[in-house]
Amino acid sequence: MLKGRKKRVKILVTGGAGFIGSHVVDRGLADGHDVVAVDNLSTGRKEFIQDALAHPQFSLVEADIFTQPDRLTEVMAGCDVVFHLAANADVRFGLEHPRRDLEQNTIATFNVLEAMRANGVRRIAFSSTGSVYGESSVIPTPEDAPFPVQTSLYAASKLPGEAMIQAYCEGYDMQGYIFRFVSLLGERYSHGHVFDFLKKLTADPNRLHVLGDGHQKKSYLYVGDCIDAMFCALSNATDPVNIFNLGTDEYVEVNDSIRCICDHLGVTPELDYAGGERGWIGDNPFIFLDCQRIRSLGWAPTRTIRESIVHTVDYLRSQPWLLEARS
């Protein structure tokens, strides 16, 4: 990371034992940096950071960044950059517990920024979401799309994170990297449609219940490509506030995704559609981001969406403990 800066830096990763965070941990260590992972292990897993735990330049701090801001401030001492990836990533069931998004996403991000301010840490990378565009009138959607209207509590708790980071950059001379992800796939993926479909098809290969009408258009990105993109941005983008969409230059319908999974598994289930344009309230029927900005820095994804789906199915089948652990 950090072209033209000191070679070895200290990175703090919130959500460092999670799906994305554990990959950032691995990449940070591989690049020779010191890495501190902070995770409350609510959805993060020690299995994801098994290699890191054996590494002399790594430490895991079991702490909750919402309820333990003082502990966060303490362990951030001496860090050069924060990857703030801890979040309540449960988009679909947000309406059942709106406080969770406020606390774990919005207030937790405030805690991270205050811990940075207390420690004089200037750089932050933040996992936002393409969902902040709501149902955009412009598709593919660029970073400067028309001012959006939020349709999910999840995005409505990530947008404040973006906003606070931007205001802290302006007011306290910090440097922010805001990444608006599409959904990610790949190793350690354990939440989302491929997971759900695979789990259902493993239980019953003859029948598959599908939320919505199957025509929802979604974009996915391989987690390895996502990590490359984030590190590329931190090395090459130099503005006080740097905002990047991260995705591929394509999308698939849910039906395409199902076909891809079924072909790979060799099953031909009867499809049972719930119907409707959206899978749930707040579901966006068409997510497709314009990623020219990050591509202009030289980054490009290495896997297509279909390749990522197949790769993820293979990964999950190699990790039956993971497929069984989550409902």
Decide whether 147 or 321 has the Cβ nearer to a second copy: 147
d(CA 34, CA 197): 38
**From candidates 18, 192, 247, 282, binder to a second copy by CB under 8 A:** 282
User: Taking the alpha carbons of 31, 299, 253, 211 in that order, is the dihedral positive or negative?
Assistant: positive
CB-count exposure of residue 70 (10 Å: 0-12, 13-18, 19+): exposed
The CB-of-147 to a second copy minimum distance in angstroms stands at 5
x-or-dash string of contact with a second copy, 93-132, rule CB under 8 A: -xx--xx--x---xx--x--xx------------------
- Give the one residue of 37, 75, 87, 159 binding a second copy; rule: CB under 8 A: 159
Q: Which is nearer to a second copy, 107 or 185 (CB)?
A: 107
Tokens matching residue 121? 């840490």
For a second copy, the binding residues in 211-250 under the rule CB under 8 A are: 241, 243
The nearest distance, CB 166 to a second copy, in angstroms, is: 4
Distance of CA 23 to the CA centre of its chain: 11
Nearer to a second copy, 38 or 159 (CB): 159
| Catalytic sites, residue numbers | 154
Contacts 24+ apart (CB under 8 A), 98-103: 98/153, 101/153, 101/154, 101/156, 101/157, 102/157, 103/66
Q: Which of 30, 41, 274, 281 binds a second copy (CB under 8 A)?
A: 281
Q: How far apart are the first and last CA of the chain?
A: 37
Residue choice 156, 261, 305, 313 for contact with a second copy (CB under 8 A) = 156
User: Helix (H, G, I), strand (E, B), or coil: what is residue 316?
Assistant: helix
CB of 201 to a second copy, least distance (A): 30
Does position 164 interact with a second copy (CB under 8 A)? The reply is: yes
Count the residues of the shown chain that bind a second copy, applying the rule CB under 8 A: 42
> Tokens 């774990």 sit at which residue?
104
How far apart (Å, rounded) are the C-alpha atoms in residues 153 and 145? 20
Measured over the CA atoms of residue 240, residue 245, residue 248 and residue 250, the dihedral's sign is negative
Q: Can you give the binding site for a second copy, defined by CB under 8 A? A: 94-95, 98-99, 102, 106-107, 110, 113-114, 133-134, 137, 143-153, 155-157, 159-160, 162-164, 166-168, 170-172, 241, 243, 281-282
